[in-house]
Chain A
Amino acid sequence: MEHIALIQAYTALALGIIIGLGAIGACIGIGIMGSKFLESAARQPELIPTLQGRMFLLVGLIDAAFLIGVAIAMFFAFANPLLARFS
């Protein structure tokens, strides 16, 4: 019985680390990119439509690794394969 509690406890810790570290990376990345976009928009306002399209593309790419981490974390939260193997 303690083994199951141990597996669940460590899984919960791991989920926190996955989502937390992923969020730090994604938010800092988007912050840096957003600030560069605002600088260049202030410098050359006529390029704003082009740059905005590229910026949304980059938002999706930067968020990708974080959301893959969230998907894996959710999978472990609700259908934990480590727990299934035990029981």
Chain B
Amino acid sequence: MAGSSADYIPHHLTHLTVGEGFWSVHADSLIMTAILGIAFLWMFGAAARKATTGVPSRFQAFVELVVEFVDGQIKEVFHGDRSFLAPLALTIFVLVIFMNTMDLIPIDIPGLIASGAGAHYWRVLPTADANTTFAMSITVLMLVIIYSFKAKGAGGYMHELFTSPFGGHPLLWLPNFVLNIVELLSKPVSLAMRLFGNMYAGELVFMLIALLGFAWAGALHDGNIFGFALGFIGQVLMTAAWGIFHVLIILLQAFIFMVLTVVYISMAHEHH
């Protein structure tokens, strides 16, 4: 963890990579996602198993709040059978919240724990890794395509792809198809990049504020008490302010990912 300030940020931006070239895998993102997924299943499973119809405990009331919130959002948009979509939306919402909350852990603590376990690099925030967000959004894309086939049939979906916005004339087949493919591909790209951009920028601002630590450590070493106090108090205040703002961003981005997933799947499901 010691080192110059110029190495601090690139060191904290490196993933723990396993493998070479195309087959390299970011082991830290995978392991964090697995841990948080198991934590989510365990928490909500425990609430479901202990659920009573009498006076609920506070934890059960909280889980019911989350489930009803997600269900309310789905009911407004999707008018079909919710038995698959509602658990999917709940999973996306709570898992993305859990993953994003890893950003609030102070930056050097995961490094301490990981180097105790022998890993040189460890990035705790899975959603600041573009691979994680694209994995989720490509899954949503595949669900959109599957629901389109299910609702319209193979022939109907192909017909709609080639004749949809402009009309049925054979000269218009190519423009229709290009437009439909662009619309289809822009959905997962925008979903993934929105979540990745928000989380990566947030994490980077935390690291930039942490660079102030080098400044006040240097001032303390030189005996400059005023500089030390200014740097220390400034760092604490700025980290607190950005952390409080980031809590809002975390919840908002998870909510947007969930609502857009539901909207895209319900748009694929409607007949004409």
Contact = CB atoms under 8 A, between A and B. Distances in A.
A4 to B, nearest CB: 15
B255 A79 contact: no
A61 B195 CA distance: 11
Contacts of A70: 197, 201
Contacts of A72: 197
Contact of B252 (A60, A68, A75): A60
A57 B259 contact: yes
* Best-buried of A60, A75, A78 by chain B (most CB within 10 Å): A60
Nearest to A66: B197
A74 B194 contact: no
B194 A60 contact: yes
B10 interface: yes
B9 A60 contact: no
Interface residues of A, number: 17
Nearest to B10: A78
B107 interface: no
A61 B201 contact: no
Contacts of A71: 193, 196-198, 200-201
A64 interface: yes
B90 to A, nearest CB: 18
A21 interface: no
Contact of A64 (B9, B10, B197, B200): B197
B16 interface: no
A65 to B, nearest CB: 8
Q: Which size bracket describes the interface of B in this complex?
A: 10 to 19
Majority DSSP secondary structure for residues of B touching A: helix
A61 B196 contact: no
Interface string B162-187: 00000000000000000000000000
Nearest to B128: A71
Contact of A79 (B13, B196, B197, B201): B13
B13 A60 contact: no
B190 interface: yes
Interface string B202-228: 001000000000000000000000000
Contacts of A57: 255-256, 259
Contacts of B255: 56-57, 60
A67 B10 contact: no
Contacts of B148: none
Contacts of B13: 78-79
7 contacts: A60-B252, A67-B198, A68-B196, A68-B197, A69-B197, A71-B201, A79-B13
Given A69-B197, A70-B201, A75-B200, 4 more contacts: A63-B198, A67-B194, A67-B201, A74-B200
